[in-house]
Structure 1
Amino acid sequence: NGFVQNTTLLGEALGRVKQKLGAESAHVALPEESAYVFSMHIPENSSREQALSMVEFELEDRVPIAPSAAVYDFDVIMRHDDGVGEEVGVTVFPRELAESYAESFSLAKIPLLSLEVEARSVARAVTSGAQSEPITLLVDFGRLRTGFAVLKRGIPIFTSTVAVGGETIDRVIAEKLSLAPEDVDEFKNEQGFLAAGGKNSPGVEVITGTVSALADEVVRHFHYWDTRRNERGERMTPVERVFLVGGSANLKGLGDYVAARVQAEVLRPNVWQNVCSFDDYIPPIDRRRSLRFATAVGLALRSF
């Protein structure tokens, strides 16, 4: 759930990282499991203090923790939203969690520059934030869990996490197909859901359960947000695409399978799009591996 069990041990580990990498400061992404994310409207031209006061008032109806036990902030999504004020995306964390990370970095003598929800970091790397950018369902398919976020102009307005991860696929493939760990990745990336023999292939059979469970969750999140309507019957958050990131997102055929289920475009985004042009520089990390580092790239972009 992201809570630090021992700040001293984490501080010592961060201290070793500091010595190895020479880190002078840090931006930090916190896991969605402990976050509360929502959007709301505030009057146009509100000061930051006024906006935070309105956010605090809204917490009582939105978040199951008292304002005194929470830390929170917001990002502006739209400054003029059809006469109803500015739309902002709000992120709330338990104060205890935020302070445990702050203490760990303090013990490591690494100045902490910011804390944010992980989905915001990824969004900074893979979206433009432009007014014309479609609402996107971000799916971070990791080793142990999958994170979901609805992004509006690059700002999360919803996040959730499910216990569906790529480790299950890796373990079952290794057991059923008698593959070494290095061969498991090759099978997933080169054959995956499109292995010879189709759905009757032993490889496809062993991963179908996990992939189907993931697709079910994508469909559930996609259709809930895509079909929400306001009092005038207008769609509030028409989702137009799905982004797949994370270390397990490279499973061959996964994108097409999910696209067929949601009837929408499914893409593996370019995590470098806001860093550099490939005409000027080619990063040393290949495209597949780069999907594992979307969070790190997004955090680095905070300094630019």
Structure 2
Amino acid sequence: MQLSSVQIHLPESVRGFSRTLSRAFPTPRLLAPPSAGIDISDASVKWLALESAKKGNGLRVRSWGEIAIPEGVVVGGFVHDKEGLVSILAAVKKELRGIECAHAALPEEAAYVFSMQVPPGSRRAQILSLIEFELEARVPIPPSAAVYDFNLIEKNGAGEEIGVVVFPRDISESYAAAFAAADLPLASLELEASSIARAISSREGADPITLLVDFGRTRSGFAVLKRGIPIFTSTVSIGGGTVIKAIMEKLSLSEAEAMKFNNEQGIAPEGGAKSPGAEAVAGAAAALADEVARHYHYWDTRRNEHGERMTPVEQVYLLGGTSNMKGITDYIAGRVQAPTDQPNVWKNVADFDDYVPPITYRESLQYATAVGLALRGVSLI
């Protein structure tokens, strides 16, 4: 099963805009212009572009980088200062050198994600009509103000299970308008979790049900992936910045020094559990772990009318800068009693025996969204 992205469907009244967000007939790979994956957060814009290997197998990193976003330009994933974002995107375009368009992700804070059953053999138009009928019960915005689409998860005895993503149309338009003003055409918009899933999931779609945790600087995103397709997303206002700030204040360190302490000592610092360093990390780490455990146990214990577990979560993946905290993987694994690890974001790019990307392992955990978006541009998957 292909890991296709969740693109966006718009009602007939906004058909013109749908050409920006949704392409029912993607450009053939040989004709597709070079594109980059662009990941916008409250703190920065990251970009990454891929190209086919000139020698050997797989893909190669063509361009990558990050530009900090001033506070207040993007808040909670929402664009508050369009001109400020346009200026940053224009700066990114200069760094892309010959790349003509972009694939970008929409903020999960604004998304409504769910799964549903449709009759076997349903056509796309029929499925979209069924989704529109479901919106009133599941989403607090009218269909005329929504953009939405779906991905097939699996075929089963009840028909076909699909994963649905819905966004407010004005949010989608604000992102599209910023890219247009920066003269950086958008090839697609999709859910952040869909981008990450494309990077870390198998192309066969045989992955176990996974709780994906993306620790950002100001917020953390959670997603449940079923066969590599998001069926749930959530965002909490607890991020890695809380940990770094606590370390800086408790130990009187610079931000760079605090990051080093986080990565090299983390939950189990050299001074022991009662040292100032341990006290600085413990509270923030516990708050992050509490959220992971809460999401994990809710989904892992859901039951259907027959008492059967509906979404038994089999693994937890940690991403983002805070996932580099020494000891955090084992700490969370102990809290949820499930295998917990950091995924390989280059899984669908290249084999390390053929190519080692020019981004450190720790940095790569912050580039999963950009990698997944870039894979869309190269592979059209």
User: TM-score normalised to the size of structure 1?
Assistant: 0.96
Does structure 1 retain, via aligned residues, the 8 Å contact 2:205–2:228?
no
AA matched with 1:41: Q
Q: Quick one: higher RCO (CA 8 Å, sep 6+), 1 or 2?
A: 2
Q: Distance in 2 between matches of 1:198 and 1:8?
A: 48
Q: Which of 149, 152, 159 pairs up with 1:85?
A: 159
AA matched with 1:124: R
2:179 maps to 1:114:
no
Shift of 1:177: 1.1
* Aligned positions of 1:192-203 closer than 5 A: 192-203=266-277
Tell me the equivalent position of 2:91.
16
Percent identical: 62
Going by fraction, where is helix more abundant, 1 or 2? 1
Tell me the C-alpha RMSD between the 2 structures: 1.3
Shift of 1:16: 2.6
Q: Secondary structure at the match of 1:283?
A: coil
Q: Which of 61, 73, 78 pairs up with 1:3?
A: 78
Q: Which of 115, 124, 135 pairs up with 1:59?
A: 135
147-156 or 7-16, larger mean C-alpha shift: 7-16
AA matched with 1:73: D
Shift of 1:6: 3.7
Tell me the equivalent position of 1:212.
286
* Aligned positions of 1:145-160 closer than 5 A: 145-160=219-234
User: TM-score normalised to the size of structure 2?
Assistant: 0.77
2:107 maps to 1:31:
yes
Does structure 2 retain, via aligned residues, the 8 Å contact 1:129–1:153?
no
AA matched with 2:355: Y
Shift of 1:129: 5.0
Does structure 2 retain, via aligned residues, the 8 Å contact 1:241–1:265?
yes
Tell me the equivalent position of 2:248.
174
Gaps of 5+ in 1: none
When residues 12 and 202 of structure 1 are mapped into structure 2, their CA distance, relative to the original with a 3 A threshold, is closer
Q: Distance in 2 between matches of 1:124 and 1:158?
A: 16
Q: Which of 298, 316, 330 pairs up with 1:224?
A: 298
* Aligned positions of 1:242-253 closer than 5 A: 242-253=316-327
Tell me the equivalent position of 1:297.
371
Deviations 1:173-227 (A, max 9, x none): 1121122222212111111111123321211111111111111111111011001
Deviations 1:233-261 (A, max 9, x none): 11110001100001111000101111111
Q: Tell me the matched-pair count.
A: 302
